Amino acid sequence: MNQNGTEPDRTATVVLGFFGWEITATCSQADSKHLEFLYRPHVMQQPSIHADDKASVELRAEHEAGFFRSVLAKDGREKSFSVRIAGETVRRTFRGWSGSAAPLPPLVHPKFAQNFVVLNAAVVEKGGRCVAIFGPNYSGKTSVALHMCTELGWSLVSDHLLVLDARSARVWSYGSPVGLRGRAREDFEASSANETIERREVISEVTGRVLLLRPEQLCTTTDGLRGSLEGLVLLSPECRDIRTVPTADLGGPPCFPPGRSAEALTMLPAHTILVPAAGERTPGQAAHAISASFDI
């Protein structure tokens, strides 16, 4: 019995593949259902006998809400996780998301993080060419990327993380949910798809309700290791006209692990296309402008 006098949830094990690594996650049965939704394309049916790079992750929450339900509800309850790689364990305890690395993928562990350079961006691909879409929070990156994928023949590589392999500078697919907020959420809820597509919901202090949806139910997605990054777009609130500028002039991009901005710059295209943010034009207009810029 737990402290509430009820039977504790049984432990579940889920094996996931992230960027060439095999990650064994241990959590409650209830949390395993959320985990499988959040990282569905990365769930492996069985461990790989060929994986050389492996890690184990344990997720814990000493209350009935569970780890992921507590995270999604932002209820302020204490949660913890640990990541173990090659005998070294990193542990974190928290109540609210504070901008620190999440347990999955386990970028919080240096032995995992050292293999990648990670930046906040949506990534799309067409004709084997990857294009990253950067921008401030709530600038419309997701809406623009989804329009490119649903209307203009692109595929979604990642909704919010550009994951670059540190050795090859190639782009890894990352299949996390897409978050629809504001007008995009309202349009989805008014559509017929709202009746059939599985989702989770969180509340943003800035934008209100956010729907988390599986991207593969909305558009074409990619998996595994892709090619190098060939295009860079910045959705800019200050920009009034589309123009191209040297990427270096924009300064070193904030990235994870911290302190690798200079390394990230060497992996990015030399020039960036500036596009007015969604507030200045519709996501569809921005999507068409970006797609036309790469003439694919």
Summarize pLDDT for 268-279 with one digit per residue, the tens: 999 999 999 855
pLDDT tens digits for range 179-201: 999 888 999 999 888 888 999 99
In a domain, 3, yes or no: no
Residue 239 sits in a domain whose CATH number is 3.40.50
Question: Buried b / exposed e across 146-182, counting CB within 10 Å, b at 16+?
Answer: bbbbeebebbbbbbbbbbbbbeebebbbbbbbbbbbb
In a domain, 264, yes or no: yes
- pTM beyond cutoff 0.75: yes
Q: Are 10 and 28 in contact (CB under 8 A)?
A: yes
- What is each CA distance from 154 to 28, 120, 273, 292, in whole angstroms? 37, 19, 18, 12
Looking at the structure, do residues 69 and 154 belong to the same domain, yes or no? no
Looking at the structure, do residues 270 and 241 belong to the same domain, yes or no? yes
> Which DSSP helix (H) or strand (E) runs through 294?
helix 283-294
- In which residue ranges of the chain is pLDDT below 70? 1-9, 49-51, 97-101, 278-280, 296
Looking at the structure, do residues 281 and 258 belong to the same domain, yes or no? yes
Q: Which domain holds residue 235?
A: 118-177+214-294
